[in-house]
Chains A and B, each alone.
Chain A
Amino acid sequence: DAGITQSPRYKITETGRQVTLMCHQTWSHSYMFWYRQDLGHGLRLIYYSAAADITDKGEVPDGYVVSRSKTENFPLTLESATRSQTSVYFCASSELTTNALLETDTQYFGPGTRLTVL
C-alpha cells in the first residue's frame, strides 16, 4: 500500500527493555520525522532525517536512537524503555519543494504507535 505506515500499532513493554518502532514510507520522501504526543505537551519532535544516513536531534532526543540506512525506512529505538516514554509516537515524511524563492514541505503522518511502558 502506498503512503506511510508504522508498526506495531500498539506495544506494551517493561521498563529496561529495548523497543524498536518501525516507520516505512513509499513516496521516496527525503525527510522523515519522529514525534511523540503527550497530553499537555502536544507534539514534540524527537529526531528527524534529511536523507539516508543523515539524522539530527529534535526537541526531546534523550533515550532514543534512530537510523536511516534506506530512504524509505526510519526506525526509532528506545534503548532502555522508561515509564516516561509511554506515549503515542508518530512518524512523518515530507519532500522539499521550491516555489519561487521559498522552500517548504508538508509533513504527512503515519497512523501512530501507542506505546505503554510498565
Chain B
Amino acid sequence: AQKVTQAQTEISVVEKEDVTLDCVYETRDTTYYLFWYKQPPSGELVFLIRRNSFDEQNEISGRYSWNFQKSTSSFNFTITASQVVDSAVYFCALSGANAGNNRKLIWGLGTSLAVNP
C-alpha cells in the first residue's frame, strides 16, 4: 500500500530561520512521483514541485530546496531564511507512474508552518 507521512503537524519559527519539513513515503512501485503543495491561509492549493523516482538530484528554487533520498524514502523540503509569507500548510503527495487511468495522489496530512516576525 502507498502511504505518505508528514510527522510534523505544526512548526513555528522566527523569520529568517531555516526550516525543514519532513516527508516519508511508502510504495512498492519502482517508478513513482513525489509532489509538494502549499496551502496559504487564503485556502488555495499551490503546486510547488514534482520529482520522479529516477531523479535524486536536489532541487533548488530561490529560498526553497528539496532533498530526495530513495534510501530513506524521504522527500524533505527546506525553506532558507523563512519569511512571514511562507506561513502555510504544506502537503507532500505521492503518485504512481504508468498508472493508466488511476491518477490518484496519495496525500500526507500536511505540516502547518507559522513564521513569526
Contact = CB atoms under 8 A, between A and B. Distances in A.
Interface residues of A, number: 31
B103 A33 contact: yes
B104 A45 contact: yes
Interface in A68-118: 88, 90, 92, 94, 96, 99, 101-112
Interface size on B, as a range, is: 20 to 34
Give 7 nearest A-B pairs by CB, closest first: A109-B45, A42-B109, A102-B97, A43-B107, A42-B107, A50-B101, A111-B44
B109 A106 contact: no
A41 B108 CA distance: 9
Contacts, number: 61
A101 B98 contact: yes
Interface of A: 31, 33, 40-43, 45, 48, 50, 54, 56, 58-59, 88, 90, 92, 94, 96, 99, 101-112
A116 to B, nearest CB: 15
